[in-house]
Amino acid sequence: MKLWETAIPNYQKTDEVELSEYVDGITKISYVQEPDITAYLPSKANSTGDAVVICPGGGYWILAYDWEGSDIAKFFNSKGIAAIVLKYRLPFSKSNIIPHKSPLMDAQRAIRLTRFHAEEWGIEQNRIGIIGFSAGGHLASTAGTHFDFGNSNSNDPIEKLSSRPDFMILVYPVISFIQPYSHSGSVKNLLGENPSEELLKYYSNELHVTNQTPPTILIHSQDDTSVPIENSLSFYKALCDNKVKAEIHTYTCGGHGFSLAIGKGYLSTWTERVIDWVNNLGTEKK
C-alpha cells in the first residue's frame, strides 16, 4: 500500500529506479522512490489487537527488507500481533528535496495510515507501536520523540490522525548522533558531510525524551562494535529520568544485526522478552 496515493511530499521525479538485490542471504532494497507499507495480519481468532510498524535497518543506505522486515513481521503474526513493514525512502537518493526529512515523514505517515486502517485490520487504534533495528531503530526512536497529534485542519483524513506510536521496541538501535557513541555511517548517510550542530542534536534522540515519550523496550548486546551499547543505555536513562515506562535487556554476546537470532542460543530469547513486555503493557499503552 502506497503511503501517499497522490503527491509524495519532499519528492522530485528523477531518472532513479528502485533497486532490490539479494546479497549474502538478505534482500537489500535501495533507491526507494515510492514509500509503502505491507501489512501482515494474524488470523482474527489469534489477534491480540496490537500492531507494530517495522523499520528495517541498513545504515540509512539500504533496507534489510526481509532480515529486519518481513521475517520480523511473520514472527509477530505468530504471536497474534499485526505487523506493518515500512519501505521508507533513503536520504542519499537524489529524488529527495531535503534528504534528511524523508525517512521521518515516511515513518510518521505509516503510523497514521495504520491507525486509519485499524478497524479494517483488526487493530486497536491505541495499541500501535513501532519497532526498528539499527538505523531503523534510530528512525523508530525519532518517530517516538518527534511526533505530532495530527492536523485537524487537513483535508486528508489520514493527516488528521496522531503519528505518536503507542510503544517502541528498539533493537540494537542507533540513538545518538553525538560522539563518542554515534554511528558515523548513519550520521553521514542521513545528514551528509559536515552537518550542523543543530541537526546533530535534533537527531540525537536521547536529548528529546519527555514524559510524553511512549513506553519503550530496548535490546542490545555488550559486544556490539558497530553501534555501541551506550546508545541504548543513554536512551534508557533518559526514559527513566522522565518517568517513562521502560525496560532494557542486554546480552553479553551477539554483536550487531542478529535479527531474530535464530540458532544463537540464549540471544534468541530477546523475542520472548519483547512479547511478554507488549502483552503486559495491556491498557497502559498511553
CATH number of residue 236's parent domain: 3.40.50.1820
Tell whether 4 is covered by a domain.
Answer: no
Q: CB-based contacts of 87: which residues, under 8 Å, 6+ apart?
A: 29, 32, 35, 36, 37, 38, 63, 65
Beta-ladder partners of 218: 170, 248
Residue 256 within any structural domain of the chain: yes
Q: Which is nearest to 174 in space by CA: 256, 104, 112, 273?
A: 256
Instruction: Tell me the residue range of the domain where 133 lies.
Output: 19-281
- For the chain, the C-alpha Rg in angstroms (whole number) is 17
> What is the count of structural domains for the chain?
1
Strands 26-30 and 63-64: antiparallel
pTM for the model: 0.96
| Digitized pLDDT (tens) for each residue of the chain, 286 residues in all | 999 998 999 999 999 999 999 999 999 999 999 999 999 999 999 999 999 999 999 999 999 999 999 999 999 999 999 999 999 999 999 999 999 999 999 999 999 999 999 999 999 999 999 999 999 999 999 999 999 999 999 999 999 999 999 999 999 999 999 988 888 899 999 999 999 999 999 999 999 999 999 999 999 999 999 999 999 999 999 999 999 999 999 999 999 999 999 999 999 999 999 999 999 996 454 4
The answer as to whether 8 is a domain residue is: no
Q: Is residue 228 part of a domain?
A: yes
The reply to whether 277 falls in a domain is: yes
